[in-house]
Amino acid sequence: MSRRELVVLGTASQVPTRTRNHNGYVLFWDDEAVLFDPGEGTQRQMLRAGVSATDLTRIAITHLHGDHSLGLAGVVQRISLDGVPHTIPVSFPASGAAWVDHLIDATSYHHRADLELQPLAEDGVVWPVRPEQGFTLRAERLEHGVEAFGYRLDEPDGRRMVPALLAAAGVAGPAIGVLQREGRVVTGDGRTVRLEDVSARRRGQSFAFVMDTRLCDAVFSLARGVDLLVIESTFLDRDRELAHAFGHLTALQAATVAAECGVRSLVLTHFSQRYQDAGEFWAEARTVFDGELTVAEDLDRVQVPPRVH
């Protein structure tokens, strides 16, 4: 079965702590691996998590604060050093382009990385869309102190074969392959069977990545109905005023979004160093969200939940 898994590299907002690295997340999705928000120390966390520079097929940055981007310098130099042969698109808010340029050219090294820079100026699909990647990536503007975009990944709907319908139609063996490739097949007795006669719609899976933002419409549209949501919960709700003032969410707000949007699996992360007990985030989120819940720790692995047909 194909791999659809989130690898958490770091979970700290603003500054690393003794137990939490700066942010960093890799989403493995079949043959793709998207690195989101590489904070400081990402290169080493990748090593610890068993993720190589060559694995990466895309880098997506929500905004140009250090806890979401300082690690780009090291990761890009590592991509160069390892001679990664493929092109790696790098998306980021357009207003952060100068900082991205600095990070990519932060020290002297052999520039061999083949990066395709994609400054985002408005909401929409992030290009290029390659058919083989099996999903579209969309960006939507969030509300934070600097320009920030959240991301959403959607797999197109497909078809799944229904064995009982195949049997009833008399389609078996190599004919099934023909049906899948060509959309129709002619049976031995001369009947034409169409794909839609013997298959059912298979809903595509989806993932959303919502980092630094106060509550806004985009948070909901990014999270709507996704299988897996990674969302910042910098604060606990007793500090809701602080969260709003600094452009952040509380655990209660993040979990409420997940509950209202029908999210299946929720990953809270990006915690302020002011809190010692991660259990408080879990307890707060649990009051409103009853799906699969993870209060992320560094190096956690979270599976995209199995398909529901």
Helix (H, G, I), strand (E, B) or coil at 128: coil
Among 67, 140, 147, 237, binds Zn ion (CB under 5 A): 67
Q: Are strands 265-269 and 228-232 parallel, antiparallel or unpaired?
A: parallel
Nearest CA to 267 out of 241, 307, 303 is that of 303
Site string for Zn ion, 192-221 (x = CB under 5 A): --------------------x---------
- 67 included as an active-site residue: yes
By C-beta, is 155 or 232 nearer to Zn ion? Answer: 232
Q: Estimate to the nearest angstrom the gap between the alpha carbon of 84 and the chain centroid.
A: 22
Closest approach of Cβ 212 to Zn ion, in Å?
4
Task: Provide the 10 A C-beta neighbour count for residue 232.
Answer: 31
Q: How far is the CB of 231 from Zn ion (least distance, A)?
A: 12
Structure-block tokens of residue 278: 């991660």
Q: How far is the CB of 50 from Zn ion (least distance, A)?
A: 25
Residues in the chain: 309
Residue 37 in the binding site for Zn ion (CB under 5 A): no
CB of 79 or CB of 219, closer to Zn ion:
219
Marked catalytic residue, from 37, 67, 237, 298: 67
- Burial of 136 from C-beta contacts in 10 A (0-12 / 13-18 / 19+): middle
CB of 282 to Zn ion, least distance (A): 20
Q: Is 173 left (phi over 0), alpha (psi -120 to 50) or beta?
A: left
Q: Residue 203 has what DSSP assignment?
A: P
Q: Is 246 left (phi over 0), alpha (psi -120 to 50) or beta?
A: alpha
Asked if 13 touches Zn ion (CB under 5 A), the answer is yes
With CB under 5 A, what is the number of residues at the site for Zn ion? 3
Q: Where does this chain touch Zn ion (CB under 5 A) — which range of 12-20, 124-132, 255-263, 297-305?
A: 12-20
Q: How far is 84 from 81, CA to CA, in rounded Å?
A: 8
Closest CA to 304 of 219, 203, 211: 203
* 134: number of Cβ within 10 Å: 17
The one segment of 6-14, 158-166, 173-181, 194-202 that binds Zn ion by CB under 5 A: 6-14
* Minimum separation from the CB atom of position 60 to Zn ion (A): 15
Q: Which stretch binds Zn ion (CB under 5 A): 64-72, 78-86, 96-104, 271-279?
A: 64-72
Q: Tell me, residue by residue from 148 to 187, as one string, x for binding to Zn ion by CB under 5 A and - for no binding.
A: ----------------------------------------
Residue span binding Zn ion (CB under 5 A) among the ranges 60-68, 141-149, 164-172, 185-193: 60-68
For residue 291, the SS3 value is coil
Cα 308 from Cα 94, distance rounded (Å):
37
Applying CB under 5 A, does 62 fall inside the site for Zn ion?
Answer: no
| Binding stretches for Zn ion (CB under 5 A) | 13, 67, 212
Residue numbers in the known binding site for Zn(2+) are 63, 65, 67-68, 144, 212, 270
Hey, which residues are catalytic here? 67
Residue numbers in the known binding site are 63, 65, 67-68, 144, 212, 270
